[in-house]
Amino acid sequence: MKLVERLLTGDRRAIARLITIIENDGAEAQEALAALYPHTGQAHIVGVTGAPGTGKSTLVNELAKVYRKRDRTVGIIAVDPTSPFSGGALLGDRIRMRDLSGDAGIFIRSMATRGSLGGLARSTADAVKVLDAAGYQTIIVETVGAGQSEVDIAKAAHITIVVEAPGLGDEIQAFKAGITEIADIFVVNKADREGADRTAMALQMILDLDHSSHLSSQTPEWRPPVCKTIALHGEGVGAVVEAVEEHAAHLRESGNLQRRERERIERELRSIITQEMTRSFFERLDEAQFDSLVDSIIRRELDPHSAATILLKG
Amino acid sequence: MFEKEKLAEIKEELDKWEETTLQKTLNRFPERRDTFITTSSAPVERLYTPLDIAGLDYERDLGFPGQYPFTRGVHPTMHRGRLWTMRMFAGFGTAEETNARYKYLLEHGETGLSVAFDMPTLYGYDTDDPQAEGEFGKCGVAVSSLADMELLFDDIPVDEITTSMTINSPAAVTWAMYIAAAEKRGIPMEVLGGTIQNDILKEYVAQKEFIFPPKPSMRLVVDTFEFGARHLPKWNTISISGYHIREAGATAAQELAFTLADGFEYVKAGMERGLDVDEFAPRLSFFFNAHNDFFEEIAKYRAARRIWAREMRERFGAKNPRSWWMRFHTQTAGCSLTAQQPENNIVRTAIQALAAVLGGTQSLHTNSMDEALALPSESAVRIALRTQQIIAHESGVVNTVDPLAGSYFVEALTNRMEEEAYEYFRKIESLGGMLGAIERGFPQREIAESAYRYQREIDTGQRTVVGVNDYLTEEHVTIPLLEIDREGEQRQRERLARVRRERDNELVAQRLEALREAAQGTDNLMPYILDAVRAYATLGEICGVFREVFGEYREPVIL
Amino acid sequence: MPEKKIRVLIAKPGLDGHDRGAKVVARALRDAGMEVIYTGLRQTPEMIVEAALQEDVDVVGLSILSGAHTTLFPRIANLLKDNGLDDVLVLAGGIIPDEDVPALNELGVRGIFGPGTSTEKIVKFIEEEIGKR
């Protein structure tokens, strides 16, 4: 595919166009992915999630700067929610990333969730592949943390950073959202604010509980560190990158990397199959038959499960 | 203010009126709309009666002008004693061109000066800075060094006339230039009167001409409070502004609340420095917008006076009555003016100016009709000035103080404004004061929502803008526009180059180094800035030192 | 459900800090179902074009009230061309005198929406123009 060839030579417009094609999910998308896939697998994918107001974009901006200093190229995908009413979206994460402009070793793309239930667009994982094939060594995916999405991100990334900030309420936001398990690293950002130490301690306590009940969730034998940062000033960010590298090393050495990769690919394959089957089923569906079955259900002549069996058999 | 029985009587009669007289008319034809709203989308009732201000206590809530709580005015005689200062905001191109405009305005009767600076200057950049490209002189005058300031006020009696400078992040620097320029003419700083806007908090909220982060910016502001208190007793070291907040789309209540909340933050900061509140509070001044809704604006100013007086006395413990005065400058609403049928803007401005005068303003700028198209031409600005003069000398509204007091509507509106402001104060306090609220994006979001709602009202026809979504004309009205002298930028660059060549560069380097050290410490920076300015260090060089030491503020993601 | 969205970049070139209009338009476009990337203030021409390229936008909307458009817009137009982005629909809003409009049209600015423009007009314009492609 022409665009893919251009991408492989470093053509940035091709990268951008390919991400769009994949987002729009037409026939071209599959063709593109097929051509890209052999070139993927090198990038280190870092997920960054957390409640609004925790300073994620600023942190991502600073992480990218640290990586650039270490001569690593960085791709960034910033995901924001699509409005359920209008189908449109306001994407503003670039506002916080002006430091990264003019650097050919950085590529930033904003994506809207487009109706997907979590904080990740359905096509985010595929967009990551585009950046991976284009040679970006670290790819940071930033999402709004509110529950479902973070689980998505944990599955799509090699490492997940959960960002907290003091002063956003009495509870640890991540705990409230039930996502402490997906964190490989906790970052307490805005650490100059009152309550930062308490937040960090609370996180340690949660980790102690987890640790005693079962070996850590995401990555066996890895206790997520709790890092304090003031992303606005770039403070503490270096330590976060160190922790990311340690985690990567740990995965490799423990042999878990391959296992997780395999699990990830299995999940992805199943997910695609499910999506395809669902799509194909509904494309072939006889609407009239469907409507008539719905009528039967309403009249209590039939129950939904039996109706489904009829449709699936047919 | 009214006896219980009388009120009950009135209520009965009101009900009767609604059921009979009113109903008869409504049966014949309904009102033109279901709800009537102000410019701020706040509902307005059909009729206001004593019932709406039943709890009003004249002495407690209104009082007398020049006396606590100042609802009726900060001075006993108000405009009978002294007319408001007619102060027309002006500036464009080079210092020479602006100097000529100032002389024109003074000739035509303005009584105070007001400086508009260009974008690069507002952001602390010299004219030849790469960031300044394309921006020279377009929305104000370029001032890069003391030399420009001297030219700007050449032949203007700054010892007799007051000057307001609309500049924020680099305000301390241009203030120092103004002081140094006067000094060179033998005018000591103690006699200088004027204002620097110097209100950094509203920059983060609305005008967005910030440079440094909040903490060091507040430090600079308090440095000016301190310096002003000690050395320039006639100078208003800050003009706490609502104008820009309103222009950004805020409602009247938001303008009122956010402005006063900013004020509280400044008072806190001054006191934290160890200053006695009465040392600096008398020189805090305010700046409000005069938008379309006549009565809402008047209520806003009156509520502002009452709230500020109360908070200064009760909350901050100020003892000097001057600390309780909410003195303000007003500018008519730029955002209300249209590019279509620009002559209509003369009318809008007149109505808005009238509201400001009836609201008790101390100083007033009236916009010119061509504001939506370009900077004001001479003829347009003259009409704007005449507008003020006609109000002052022909309309009769200045013959008595606070004529609208006692109006059931105006007093009810004033009360409501005050209540809404206090609701906002509670919310802001819960976020850690205005600084905390700004960090969390609260005022910015409120403003963006209001702006959007306002535009929707226009787009759906719920709100009429004459000449824009109704009463359109085919004909395209052209009015003479101001032309900016294109050679001006070249002259300015040459002057700047000459200044850099001819000054004692070693001395400049020393002064900048001393400034840098002081900036890293806790000394009051004004003396160091003055020293640098006197040596002809440029605005860009001084702000460059601050940029290095303080860092630059990053805009948060608030859409 | 696969769907094409119109992607719009709203940018504030130069030092002008008046973002009321840019934000109102951004919201209106979002409410019309478009994906709007807002760059924030103080964007250089280079930053704007870089964002347009990476975000693969269909439309670039430039908002400027400071009068600096005469210098900045030509730079932006040239950079768009250099980067192969001349098929992007370029619009402008803010304070742009009538006499400057022809020159801007020459540069490739297809729609200029000054004070008083309804957001519906802008939405319609974009939908029609993009629809043609």
- Check: CB of residue C10 under 8 Å from CB of residue C63: yes
Residues B106, B34 share a domain:
no
Give the residue, A49 or A212, on which the prediction is more confident: A49
Q: Which domain holds residue B33?
A: 4-46
* DSSP string for B92-120: -BSHHHHHHHHHHHHHTT--EEEEEBPHH
To the nearest whole number, what is the mean pLDDT of chain C?
94
B202 φ, ψ (degrees, to nearest 5): -70, -15
Q: How many CB atoms lie within 10 A of CB B293?
A: 23
Residues B96, B28 share a domain:
no
| pLDDT band of A253, cuts 50, 70, 90 | confident
State how far the Cα of B373 lies from the Cα of C97, in Å rounded to an integer: 6
Helix-then-strand count for chain C, H and E = 5, 5
pLDDT at A213: 52
Residues B65, B16 share a domain:
no
- Check: CB of residue C83 under 8 Å from CB of residue C49: yes
Q: In this predicted model, what pLDDT tens digit does every residue of A130-182 receive, in sequence order?
A: 999 999 999 999 987 655 555 677 778 889 999 999 877 666 666 666 666 78
- Mean pLDDT split into 10-residue runs, chain B, 559 residues: 91 97 97 95 97 95 97 97 95 94 94 95 96 91 97 96 97 98 97 98 96 97 97 97 98 98 98 96 97 98 98 98 98 96 96 98 96 88 97 98 97 98 97 93 96 96 95 80 82 96 97 98 98 98 98 86
DSSP state of B190: G
State how far the Cα of A80 lies from the Cα of A93, in Å rounded to an integer: 8
| Angle at the Cα of B489 from the Cα atoms of B486 and C39, rounded to 5 degrees | 95
A18 pLDDT exceeds 70? Answer: yes
Choosing from B392, B421, B450, the residue where a domain stops is: B421
In a domain, B518, yes or no: no
| Distance of residue B416 Cα from the nearest chain C Cα, in angstroms | 27
Q: In this predicted model, what pLDDT tens digit does every residue of A68-94 receive, in sequence order?
A: 999 999 999 999 989 999 999 999 999
In a domain, B501, yes or no: no
Choosing from B404, B421, B438, the residue where a domain stops is: B421
Taking Cα atoms as reference points, which of C22, C32, C23 lies closest to residue C125? Answer: C32
Query: Which residue of chain A has the CA closest to C27?
Result: A90
Q: Which amino acid is at B482?
A: L
A51 pLDDT exceeds 90? Answer: no
Distance of CA A127 to the CA centre of its chain: 11
In a domain, B437, yes or no: no
| pLDDT band of A216, cuts 50, 70, 90 | very low
The β-bridge relationship of strands B43-44 and B36-37 is antiparallel
Q: In this predicted model, what pLDDT tens digit does every residue of A117-126 receive, in sequence order?
A: 655 666 898 9
Q: How many CB atoms lie within 10 A of CB B212?
A: 22
Helix, strand, or coil here: B87? strand
| CA R_g for chain B | 24
State how far the Cα of A15 lies from the Cα of A27, in Å rounded to an integer: 18
Distance of CA A21 to the CA centre of its chain: 19
Residue B166 bridge partners (DSSP)? B116
Share of chain A above pLDDT 90, in %: 55
Distance of CA B551 to the CA centre of its chain: 27
Measured between CB atoms, which of A16, A101, A115 is closest to C56? A16
Share of chain C above pLDDT 70, in %: 98
Are the beta carbons of B207 and C14 separated by less than 8 Å? no
Q: How many CB atoms lie within 10 A of CB C23?
A: 26
Tokens of B479: 């009015």
**Which among A30, A97, A110 is the top mutation candidate for probing chain C, defined by the most C β-carbons within 10 Å of its own β-carbon?**
A110
CB of C5 within 8 Å of any CB in chain B?
A: no
Per-residue burial over B213-232, b = 16 or more CB atoms within 10 Å of its CB, e = otherwise: bbebbbbbbbbbbbbbbebb
CB of A234 within 8 Å of any CB in chain B?
A: no
In a domain, B471, yes or no: no
Cβ neighbours of residue A26 under 8 Å, at least 6 residues apart? C2
* DSSP string for B406-466: T-HHHHHHHHHHHHHHHHHHHHHHHTTHHHHHHHTTHHHHHHHHHHHHHHHHHHTTSS--B
pLDDT at B504: 97
Residues B30, B175 share a domain:
no
In a domain, B430, yes or no: no
At the top level of CATH, the class of C7-116 is: alpha beta
Distance of CA B303 to the CA centre of its chain: 16
State how far the Cα of C61 lies from the Cα of C57, in Å rounded to an integer: 10
State how far the Cα of C8 lies from the Cα of C20, in Å rounded to an integer: 17
C71 contact residues in B (CB cutoff 8 A): 133-135
Q: Model's pTM, two decimal places?
A: 0.91
State how far the Cα of B26 lies from the Cα of B34, in Å rounded to an integer: 12
CB of A17 within 8 Å of any CB in chain C?
A: yes
Q: How many CB atoms lie within 10 A of CB B183?
A: 15
Cβ neighbours of residue B547 under 8 Å, at least 6 residues apart? B124, B211, B212
Choosing from B372, B397, B421, the residue where a domain stops is: B421
Cβ neighbours of residue B222 under 8 Å, at least 6 residues apart? B269, B270, B272, B273, B275
The three state secondary structure string of A16-77 is HHHHHHHHHCCHHHHHHHHHHHHHCCCCEEEEEEECCCCCHHHHHHHHHHHHHHCCCCEEEE
Q: How many CB atoms lie within 10 A of CB B474?
A: 4
C59 pLDDT exceeds 50? Answer: yes
| pLDDT band of A215, cuts 50, 70, 90 | very low
Share of chain A above pLDDT 70, in %: 88
DSSP H or E stretch at residue B165: strand B163-166
Helix, strand, or coil here: B55? coil
Domains of chain A in sequence order: 1-37 (no CATH), 40-254 (3.40.50.300), 270-313 (no CATH)
| Distance of residue B261 Cα from the nearest chain A Cα, in angstroms | 21
In a domain, B31, yes or no: yes
pLDDT at A169: 66
Q: In this predicted model, what pLDDT tens digit does every residue of C77-118 receive, in sequence order?
A: 999 999 999 899 999 999 998 889 999 999 999 999 999 999
B440 contact residues in A (CB cutoff 8 A): 53
CB of C31 within 8 Å of any CB in chain B?
A: no
State how far the Cα of B269 lies from the Cα of B248, in Å rounded to an integer: 26
Give the residue, A166 or A63, on which the prediction is more confident: A63
CB of B208 within 8 Å of any CB in chain C?
A: yes
Q: How many CB atoms lie within 10 A of CB B187?
A: 16
**Which among A101, A107, A111, A276 is the top mutation candidate for probing chain C, defined by the most C β-carbons within 10 Å of its own β-carbon?**
A101
| Distance of residue B26 Cα from the nearest chain C Cα, in angstroms | 34
Cβ burial of B271 (10 Å; 0-12, 13-18, 19+) is middle
Tokens of A131: 């950046």
A98 contact residues in B (CB cutoff 8 A): 554
Residues B133, B12 share a domain:
no
Q: In this predicted model, what pLDDT tens digit does every residue of C8-27 receive, in sequence order?
A: 999 999 999 999 999 999 99
| pLDDT band of A220, cuts 50, 70, 90 | low
- Calculate mean pLDDT across residues A204-224: 69
State how far the Cα of A265 lies from the Cα of A258, in Å rounded to an integer: 10
Residues B325, B385 share a domain:
yes
* Structural domains of chain B, count: 2
Tokens of C92: 């402008």
CB of A73 within 8 Å of any CB in chain B?
A: no
Residues 132-151 of B with CB under 8 A from C: 132-135, 138-139
The three state secondary structure string of B503-514 is CCHHHHHHHHHH
The helix, strand and coil proportions of chain C, stated in percent and rounded to the nearest 5, come to 45, 20, 35
* DSSP string for B20-31: IIIHHHHHHS--
Helix, strand, or coil here: A120? coil
In a domain, B460, yes or no: no
- Check: CB of residue B88 under 8 Å from CB of residue B63: no
Tokens of C21: 């209009």
Residue B323 sits in a domain whose CATH number is: 3.20.20.240
In a domain, B217, yes or no: yes
- Check: CB of residue C96 under 8 Å from CB of residue C104: yes
Classify residue A90 as left (phi > 0), alpha (psi -120 to 50) or beta.
beta
Residues B161, B37 share a domain:
no
Q: In this predicted model, what pLDDT tens digit does every residue of A263-305 receive, in sequence order?
A: 888 888 888 888 889 889 999 999 999 999 999 999 999 999 9
- Strand order in C109-113's β-sheet? A89-91, C35-38, C7-11, C59-64, C89-94, C109-113
Residues B265, B234 share a domain:
yes
The β-bridge relationship of strands B163-166 and C35-38 is unpaired
